[in-house]
Amino acid sequence: MDNLHEECGVFGIYDLDGADVARTIYYGLFALQHRGQESAGIAVSDTNGPKGKVDSYKDMGLVNEAFVGDSLDKLKGNLGVGHVRYSTAGESTRENAQPLVINYVKGILGLAHNGNLINANELREELSQTGAIFQTTIDTETIAYLIARERLNCNSVEEAVGLVTKKIKGAYSLVVMSPRKLIGARDPFGFKPLCLGKRDNAYIFASETCALDTIGAEFIRDVRPGEIVTITKDGEIISDTSHCLDEKKEARCIFEHIYFSRPDSYIDGISVYEARLKAGRFLAMDSPVEADLVVGVPESGNAAAMGYAQESGIPYGTAFVKNTYVGRTFIKPKQSARESSVRVKLNVLRQAVKGKRIIMIDDSIVRGTTSDRIVNMLKEAGAKEVHVRISSPPFLWPCYFGTDIPVREQLIAYNRSIEDIRKIIGADSLAYLEINRLDEMVNHQGICKGCFTGEYPLEPPKEDIRGEFEA
């Protein structure tokens, strides 16, 4: 499928009453499954047991595929971290699944990471020169080694995390467990989300608020961009904001609101659902067209389609039936087969579109290989016209911060006009969200627009570090 993918989802919990947390992490990861379907893992520690003992398990596939049989029952501990992964850097292998657990002279570290470092190769080389032996090809191992080394020369693990954040550059939300502490940290630009919650006498870090809702936890607040939050064994919440930037420099990934996050989540106080409704309304204001029905491409196009319908007065309807049992990792049919990967996932309701002029809302067009098939499916089902509206601006630049937007030459909008793209995908008209509308979508919070403008909040690497996303 020609969709974007996120890097990962992270979850951490510290139950101060000593109850086992593995099953809670499991359900938290279920809620974050949309952020990564390649692998899942959990690591737990008993803070009242032998110091340095960690039980962990991770495997490839969805959460319910990775944890089968009695794998959860073997994970005993009241402090733990979990992870679901989609790889934007590093191979998709079991070795690269997270969380990572390392034993060192000060005890143990369990680490789960969402994001992408732009100086990972440089730091990895530096560590290798001083004797580090790497078992994976992911940024997370570099971060773990750095924290372990800094901890040898400072008073606490949270201080070590703070020292490491001065060395690493790029996007990261981290959850770190040490023998008696749980730490959440977010990069100074706030690329990736991270929030703090509480259930009874347990504290939780999660990539999205929907994970807190799933386990019945209360949302406390978002971790600020640049903030390091530590939960101690006494239930104390220690906040270090010395690494925070001026709010004007913050650069959240706008695709959390456009596509990545679940619509029932809130990111830094902004409802994802409301942001998508706004995008649809803006499209109706800026790019109106006469039609009979507004439909969304499931799932992220649905709320924007509803916003378009509300603003335009054109009825909102359902045109697609989605096969909910097909994840992003399903085995694709061979090229010789008549079935396309799009048809396996989506089917058109002929009765809903036949003889009608359709406005189809989608969140993005990357390479264009999916959009043309969906437009064709609507027309084969009898739609008289198909007008495509995209709830983001055109992609013109790659992303280096944890989103798999490829090199420019692979982007359909690169060196093509909107009219060129319209012809390629077979639409009767095509319009994108105006770039100035992005700030309005999120109430003028600091966001990153690098994939649209080529102006990044950090100087990008001189060579593409993303492996499979190179040309």
The answer, yes or no, to whether residue 289 has pLDDT greater than 60, is yes
Per-residue model confidence (pLDDT) at position 471: 32
Write the pLDDT tens digit of every residue in 373-405: 999 999 999 999 999 999 999 999 998 887 778
Question: In sequence order, what E strands does 16-135 have?
Answer: 39-45, 54-60, 79-85, 100-104, 107-117
Residue in 8, 210, 399, 451 annotated catalytic: 8
User: What six digits make up the tokens of 337?
Assistant: 């087969």
Q: Which residues pair with 221 in a beta bridge?
A: 196
- Please determine, for residue 324, whether its predicted confidence score (pLDDT) is greater than 50: yes
Q: Between 3.40.50.2020, 3.90.550.10, 3.90.950.10, 2.40.50.100, what CATH number should domain 270-450 receive?
A: 3.40.50.2020
Please tell me what DSSP assigns to residue 140. Answer: H
Looking at residues 245-250, what average pLDDT do you find?
94
**pLDDT score of 351:** 96
Tens-place pLDDT, residues 418-463: 999 999 999 999 999 999 999 999 999 999 999 999 999 999 887 6
Total length of the chain = 471
pLDDT, tens digit (0-9, with 9 covering 90-100), for 121-177: 899 888 888 888 888 878 889 999 999 999 999 999 999 999 999 999 999 999 999
Domain-by-domain residue ranges, the chain? Answer: 8-250, 270-450
B/e letters for 264-290, b = 16+ CB within 10 Å, e = fewer, are ebbbbebbbbbbbbbbbbbbbeebbbe
Q: Report how far apart the first and last C-alpha atoms of the chain are (Å, whole number).
A: 18
pTM of the model: 0.91
User: How would you list the strands of the sheet with 79-85, edge to edge?
Assistant: 54-60, 39-45, 79-85, 8-15, 202-206, 195-199, 218-222
pLDDT at 347: 92
Question: Active site includes 195?
Answer: no
- pLDDT > 70? residue 361: yes
CATH class (in words) of the domain with range 8-250 = alpha beta
